[in-house]
Amino acid sequence: MLLAILAFGLVGVEVELLFLGHDETPTQFVPLVLIGLGLGVVLWHMMAESSASLTALRITMTLFIAAGLVGVALHYRGSVQFQKELDPSINGFALFMKAMQSKAPPALAPGVMVYIGLLGLACGFRLTNTGEKI
């Protein structure tokens, strides 16, 4: 069930990014490609449930977490630059708040990649004492 929820979320985020035109720079392609890869790995693991597919799932979901953290940093940096262009005198906490509240780019939006990665890791978690999936 968690894998199906994960696959549904991956499709939703991919569609949203495509509708938003998140493909203007090479770095904006990273989540699009990673989501496509993630969807393929999730579907593979749903069908095969092999140790190879589980390892691929874990590696891919770790990449999601890393991409999400880097994405938050990139979005925040872009938002700070935009706010500085609007008001060159802004700095400190006021700049931080403006950047975090900005809608273009939304600083925390890439956090969804971290969430997806954590959900995917939870899907691949096995209890060590019983070997059962949860």
Structure tokens at 95: 């700049």
Residue 132 lies inside a defined structural domain of this protein: no
Domain holding 80, by residue range, is: 2-17+30-45+52-123
C-alpha dist (Å) from residue 22 to 27, 32, 117? 9, 8, 20
Q: Number of folded domains in the chain?
A: 1
41 lies in some domain: yes
Residue 37 falls inside a structural domain: yes
Domain assignment present for 95: yes
Asked if 2 contacts 122 with a C-beta cutoff of 8 angstroms, the reply is yes
Q: pLDDT tens digits for 2-49?
A: 999 999 999 999 999 999 999 999 999 999 999 999 999 999 999 998
How many C-beta neighbours within 10 Å does residue 26 have? 7
Instruction: Kindly state whether residue 92 falls inside one of the protein's structural domains.
Output: yes
Q: Is residue 81 part of a domain?
A: yes
- The answer on pLDDT for 1 being more than 70 is yes
Q: Is the pTM of this model over 0.85?
A: yes
134 lies in some domain: no
